[in-house]
Structure 1
Amino acid sequence: MKRREFIASAAPLGLLFSLGLGDVPFANAQTAGGTPVPGGVLNVAVSPEPTLLTSAFITTMNIGQVSSKILEGLVSYDLNLQPVPALATSWSTAPDGLTVTFRLRQNVKWHDGKQFGAADVQYTLLEVWKKLHPFGRAAFANVTAVDTPDPHTVVIRLSSPAPYLINYINTYGAQILPRHLYEGKDVLTNPVNNAPVGTGPFVFKEWVKGSHVRLARNPDYWQKGQPYLDGVVFRFIPDAAARTVALEAGEIDVALGSSIPLSNLNKFQDKSRYSINLDDGRYLATIFLTQFNVRKPYFADKRVRQAFAHAIDRNALLKVVFLGYGKPATGPVPSSVVNYYAAQTRQYPYDLKKAAALLDEAGLKPGKDGKRLRIALDYDAGGGVTATRPAEFIKQSLARVGIEVELRGGDTASYLRRVFTDQDYDLMISSLHRLPDPTLGVQRLFWTRNIIKGAPWTNGSGYSNPRLDTIMEAAGREADVARRRALITEWQQIVQEDVPVLDLVEQTWVTVSTARFQKTALQGDGLFASYADAWLTPKKA
């Protein structure tokens, strides 16, 4: 769930969110339907080039965009973020919440001809997800045992209820590996990671470093009649302008993960030639934010943090930096996460007088030069202009209330070290995925036990609130839906009062494709779709 996955891919920060679109330019989201046409090879742009080709123990998005066509998870998610069957056909949770049972699809083969079964899920959960996956360590922390009463049944036993578990078992969060190729070997260095053997609709054929990965149709795929495509080629085009040109020229059919710059989207307004999909990344629920280092004496006072919240105009940020694409964030849980979003929390409308008054109350009064405080703002310069522009906007905003900001843009390694290892920063900006369940994607930012020196994307602010810890932990094990929702609402209210993090813009991911690219069903996790149901309409003469 790394922030770098969004801003370091030459992608525009804060694009159009798929819920509450409002009046935005050329929002012609792709629609599913039509009669599939078999044949053809799909060309997909992915950037940057993956470092390996399995997502079972790493969450980098460019890896998942490729590996999800080869390997699969137990479920995928529809546009409402509800789980739908993949390798699991059904699932149920015991009344006490301590047992989750999955029924697996039968007659599924790995690409080398071996049978897929419960032992593969058992091995991957206990030896890979639980031990090696950055989010799996938390998501599966309550798992005490995995039983396999028969080859098509998996019974997960828990020490306490884990109602969030069902929200993290797709190909992004929980990709299943073939036990017979991994057991007894070092998972992280296994050569199969670079030439994966899966159950998915496409079979790995070649990886030409610096150029492409080529996949071919799996003739033995479990879904009869699928895939429709003869193959998929993932092309690695590092330059954003070159990706735009390649899509215009028809050299690629799909540009994933907001890899077409926002400023170039006007080239793809013609609905007869192109499609803009705004739903593929709904599952990630990404928010652009600025975070305080509350270890600093001046940021230990919540009135100073609240003043900063009043000093930044989210609507102007949306218009000036994001060119009208996006939606102002109202708290730590995005509005797209409809099961847990709480609208009735403390808000901080743009109000410079209120900001100045709060700073005065906190003892930060202007000096003779009009300056109240001098601070630094850190950002990952690897994101280029897409990281620099929001940093500059925040600097200009805070200057209006007497806060002088020094911008410190470093490479990814130095940025992470300064924020999470050295803890030597004042403010930082980032984009972080919140996922469909707050226990998975939001709790990590505020939980005292997640203040882990040197661990990226944990509680880097150093914020600690024992009452909030108790509420978050209770929500994580509460099986009753209504009581859990009430706990998460209270959690949002506390965070919005204390504001160790300023959530600024709800982001989305934009997939731009030629109009020839079609799917029978759109997905909330479409960035990691298998493409089993994808096809290309015939080219016009």
Structure 2
Amino acid sequence: MRTLSRRHFLAASSAIALFIRSDKPVWAEDKPQAGGTLSVILQPEPVTLSPTNNMAQPTQTVAGNIFDGLVYYDFDLKPQPCLATSWDLARDGKTVTFHLRHGVKWHDGKPFTSADVKWSLENIWKTIHPRNKALFENVSAVETPDDFTVVLKFSKPSLPIFSVLNGVGAPILPRHLYEGTDILGSPYNNKPVGTGAFVFKEWKRGEYVLLERNPDYWDSGKPYLDRILFRIIPDPAARAAAVEKGEIQYAPFNAIPLRDVERFSQLPNVKIDRRGYDWISPLLYLDFNVENQYLKHQRVRQALAHAIDRNAMARIVWFGFGKPAISPVPSAVATFHDSTVPQYAFDPKKAEALLDEAGFKRGADGTRFAITHDYLPYGDDYRRTAEFIKQALHKIGVEVTIRSQDTAAFIKRIYGDRDFDLSLSWNSAFPDPQIGVVRAYWSGWLGTQTPWTNGSGYRNAEVDGLIQAAAVEGNPEARVADFKRFQQIVLTELPTLPLLEMQFFSVHAANLRDIVSQGDQTYSTLKNAWFDGKAKG
């Protein structure tokens, strides 16, 4: 078999990772010091600790420390060795061979082998994982000639897979604990056993998740920390106070109120960091339930889009930590982003005209119709966004009732019961639309009750065809063309309204070093983090 070396493959696939290169980690030249407990904000509390079929941010934040992947991603979003030390890609793109690391153990002491990768691909990645089902559906065979070699045979190429092979992107589970059991009902989903730098110790509901240092970790000398204590603090003011007092040393994903960021940036004992989110490329969006008696009309959806001032939303609600989005493929994913899509500028008069044309004129009380809005319960920023949208739609005669619930109830309502009209959430687009974008539009997810997939209930045969064609297209230019046509259609029919390209930030203690050491950091391991006991403030 003719193969491309790893070096040549990375050069050939550089178009997949098109984000701005981040600076090297600060203090990288200092000698790390071992020891200490890192207290981290985890908001909200996860529904599960297993990334098998739940892509919620809190789950992945914890799981990235428990599960290693075949690779991790550097600041250029290029894959680097982790559980796979090297890999070969055949020139026709239909065979990939991974060479696995020797001497890796699961947290229960059992050896990690190629059988675990094969089982996970066949039973997780191809079946229940929201992002990977389409990416790996063309794997026709998985061969394991020995304990340290995995050979994937594809019926058709699948270029995007090299952007999802980290610990949460393509989670590898211990076959000996899951095989022959109910995967989704397994007790190990909430007391996970991985191969990562930290071992699950305890989950005290409503209070914390505790991980401890893995003494048998394959990366000698790491992790430096003794423990990670993920603390659950629902109140944003209390989270900010805990960070300021030094009780919390790491707070990712906008854990403190946005209005406090400027003040925190002046404090000597903390630092604000925007790095580590490169891999996810987050997008805030509004799902329209296209089965609703009003929202099933395209003109109504377009009208509501024209009623929302996304520039004002970015400025007032999100304090500039985001910019208006025009497509579900963010501008940071530059190769695939289409700037010529139909756009919905803030225009209340046009919104009112479209509603009139759709047959929903104002009644005697000025109201056209009433709908409900369920927002993602991840904090005050999402609640305030829902209130902003409520006020905007009121001005064009659409009355909105805002409903709040915990994360489990939100997931069940939106993706299970489908008992909603508008739904506010965010997704990660990742470096390729096939990974994070198309799950919101592909009709194949309907009826599966899988979180963060096709929430709107959208069905379009041409869109399905474009998604499926791009998944197996070996010509990069043809894939770009498929995705640009995809964007033109979904931005015209508008089952989902892109709102903002989000900019997350983290707050961490000034003496916490190397908290960001790779491009997928916020969903990956903190094995490189350490406390500098000599640091001031």
TM range (shorter): 0.7 to 0.9
In structure 2, do the counterparts of structure 1 residues 32 and 365 end up closer, same or farther at CA, with 3 Å as the change threshold?
farther
Match of 2:63 among 39, 63, 67: 67
Per-residue deviation, residues 297-324 of structure 1 (Å, max 9, x unmatched)? 5444433332322221110111221122
**Deviation of the 1:261 alpha carbon:** 2.4
- The reply to whether residue 404 of structure 1 matches residue 401 of structure 2 is no
SS in 2 for 1:283: coil
Match of 2:83 among 62, 67, 87: 87
Deviates more, 1:301-310 or 1:482-491: 301-310
Equivalent residue letter for 2:239? R
Q: Partner residue of 1:4?
A: none
Match of 2:28 among 24, 33, 44: 33
Higher relative contact order (CA 8 A, sep 6+): 1
Q: Distance in 1 between matches of 2:376 and 2:303?
A: 27
Deviates more, 1:418-427 or 1:340-349: 418-427
8 Å CA contact retained: 1:280, 1:509: no
Q: Distance in 1 between matches of 2:386 and 2:509?
A: 33
Q: Partner residue of 1:464?
A: 459
Match of 2:483 among 488, 508, 518: 488
Q: Distance in 2 between matches of 1:500 and 1:509?
A: 25
8 Å CA contact retained: 2:377, 2:410: no
Supply the RMSD in Å over aligned alpha carbons: 3.1
In structure 2, do the counterparts of structure 1 residues 128 and 539 end up closer, same or farther at CA, with 3 Å as the change threshold?
same
Q: Partner residue of 2:280?
A: 284
SS in 2 for 1:247: helix
**Deviation of the 1:385 alpha carbon:** 4.0
**Deviation of the 1:267 alpha carbon:** 4.0
Q: Distance in 2 between matches of 1:317 and 1:348?
A: 14
Q: Partner residue of 1:442?
A: 437
- The reply to whether residue 506 of structure 1 matches residue 535 of structure 2 is no
Match of 2:264 among 243, 268, 272: 268
Q: Partner residue of 1:143?
A: 139
Q: Number of paired residues?
A: 515
8 Å CA contact retained: 2:210, 2:229: yes
**Deviation of the 1:393 alpha carbon:** 1.6
**Deviation of the 1:352 alpha carbon:** 2.8
SS in 2 for 1:488: helix
Q: Partner residue of 1:328?
A: 324
If the length of structure 1 is used for normalisation, what is the TM-score?
A: 0.85
In structure 2, do the counterparts of structure 1 residues 237 and 348 end up closer, same or farther at CA, with 3 Å as the change threshold?
closer
**Deviation of the 1:488 alpha carbon:** 0.7
Q: Partner residue of 1:109?
A: 105
Deviates more, 1:294-303 or 1:273-282: 294-303
In structure 2, do the counterparts of structure 1 residues 74 and 339 end up closer, same or farther at CA, with 3 Å as the change threshold?
farther
8 Å CA contact retained: 1:33, 1:520: no
Match of 1:200 among 191, 196, 199: 196
**Deviation of the 1:398 alpha carbon:** 2.6
- The reply to whether residue 538 of structure 1 matches residue 533 of structure 2 is yes
Q: Distance in 2 between matches of 1:419 and 1:53?
A: 21
SS in 2 for 1:449: helix
Match of 1:126 among 122, 140, 143: 122
- The reply to whether residue 474 of structure 1 matches residue 469 of structure 2 is yes
Per-residue deviation, residues 375-409 of structure 1 (Å, max 9, x unmatched)? 31321484564333222222222333x32222131
SS in 2 for 1:487: helix
**Deviation of the 1:520 alpha carbon:** 7.6
In structure 2, do the counterparts of structure 1 residues 299 and 200 end up closer, same or farther at CA, with 3 Å as the change threshold?
closer
Q: Partner residue of 1:311?
A: 307
Q: Distance in 1 between matches of 2:456 and 2:50?
A: 31
Per-residue deviation, residues 258-287 of structure 1 (Å, max 9, x unmatched)? 322223324421364222222333333322
Question: Structure 2: which 5+ residue stretches go unaligned?
Answer: 1-17
8 Å CA contact retained: 1:327, 1:507: yes
**Deviation of the 1:514 alpha carbon:** 0.7
Q: Distance in 2 between matches of 1:52 and 1:293?
A: 26
Match of 1:522 among 506, 517, 520: 517
8 Å CA contact retained: 2:286, 2:498: yes
Q: Distance in 2 between matches of 1:295 and 1:183?
A: 39
SS in 2 for 1:387: helix
8 Å CA contact retained: 1:29, 1:277: no
Q: Distance in 1 between matches of 2:434 and 2:222?
A: 36
Q: Distance in 2 between matches of 1:374 and 1:283?
A: 40
**Deviation of the 1:527 alpha carbon:** 1.5
Q: Distance in 2 between matches of 1:45 and 1:424?
A: 31
**Deviation of the 1:147 alpha carbon:** 0.6
Equivalent residue letter for 1:493? Q
**Deviation of the 1:362 alpha carbon:** 3.7
8 Å CA contact retained: 1:29, 1:278: no
Q: Partner residue of 1:223?
A: 219
SS in 1 for 2:66: coil
Match of 2:149 among 153, 156, 159: 153
Equivalent residue letter for 1:270? Q
Q: Partner residue of 1:429?
A: 424
8 Å CA contact retained: 2:318, 2:381: no
8 Å CA contact retained: 2:44, 2:379: no
